[in-house]
Amino acid sequence: MTAQTETGWVVVAGLGPGDEALVTQEVRDALDAATDIVGYIPYVKRIAPREGLMLHASDNRVELDRATHALEMAAAGRRVVVVSSGDPGVFAMASALFEALEAGPKDWLDLDIRVLPGITAMLAAAAQIGAPLGHDFAAINLSDNLKPWSLIETRLRAAGEAGFAMAFYNPRSKSRPHQFAHALEILLEACGGETLISFARDVTKPTQEITTVALKDATPEMADMRTMVIVGNRDTRRIGRFVYTPRSAGEVSS
């Protein structure tokens, strides 16, 4: 199959955290120019059907198949947008597309491929909370679909003991409700019971809910797959209804 770079292209685009006002104009322009939209079912549903546009929705565990299909269509001259929620480079489709590119025909390397950033849920949640990620922080996906739970435990403990604030994606699903309970135990030991933890559910949507408690008071039921969880460090504090982490830490040289 020969790449037709004069007409075919692939854009991996971030649709933001949910509010349509947070989709960038660059992404809107790509969607308007596309002949095909590829993505996980709920994200494709966010795209309005129109004449000349084909929607290719698929399950959430077929990322490589989805990416390969997008590249095949672009090589055949189609204008393809692969949609992700949030930012496509944060636990999303950009990495899957490049993995498929690496495994595919060499002529795919000549395709016009672009990644368009979006506002990821971590940053949208942090903005609603205040500035909990104001200093060094780590972003961790708590799903063990693509990595072992033992590795997640190691990273949680290391980040907590190192004093990072943390943002957690996919904290607690129906199929693995016990794991977030264990994560809270690790965080309590590594970060201390007074460290603040925030639960941001349905960020930027009309049903948004923000809850902040001390780690010692957090329970697993406070999170689900629609919740972004942000844990501060020992310097994170409340000011009125806001939570923030100071920009300085430890001894600062003059």
The domains of the chain are located at: 9-119, 122-244
Sequence-distant (6+) residues with CB within 8 A of 182 are 153
In the chain (254 residues long), the average pLDDT of successive 10-residue segments reads 62 94 96 96 94 92 93 97 96 96 96 96 96 96 91 96 96 83 95 96 94 96 94 95 89 55
* Gyration radius from the chain CA atoms: 20
The alpha carbon of 2 is separated from its chain's Cα centroid by a whole number of angstroms, namely 33
Give the H/E segment covering residue 40.
Answer: strand 36-40
| Of 60, 78, 54, residue with least CA distance to 3 | 78
- How far is 88 from 155, CA to CA, in rounded Å? 22
pTM: 0.88
- How far is 27 from 98, CA to CA, in rounded Å? 19
Q: List phi, psi (to 5°) of 130.
A: 145, -100
Domain spanning 9-119, CATH architecture: 3-Layer(aba) Sandwich (3.40)
Name the DSSP class of 153: H
Q: In what order do the strands lie in the sheet with 137-141?
A: 137-141, 165-169, 227-231, 196-201, 209-214
Q: Which CATH number fits domain 122-244: 3.40.50.970, 1.10.10.60, 3.30.950.10, 3.20.20.150?
A: 3.30.950.10
Work out whether the CA dihedral 207, 120, 35, 69 comes out positive or negative.
negative
Mean pLDDT of the chain: 92
What pLDDT score does 253 carry? Answer: 54
Amino acid type, 168: F
What pLDDT score does 133 carry? Answer: 96
Tell me whether strands 79-84 and 9-14 are parallel, antiparallel or unpaired: parallel
Beta bridge partners of 165: 137
- Angle (CA) 27 29 35, round 5°: 100
Long-range contacts from 23-26, C-beta under 8 angstroms, 24+ separation: 23/118, 24/116, 24/117, 24/118, 26/116
What pLDDT score does 196 carry? Answer: 97
| Of 130, 131, 93, 91, residue with least CA distance to 113 | 93
Q: Is 137 helix (H, G, I), strand (E, B) or coil?
A: strand
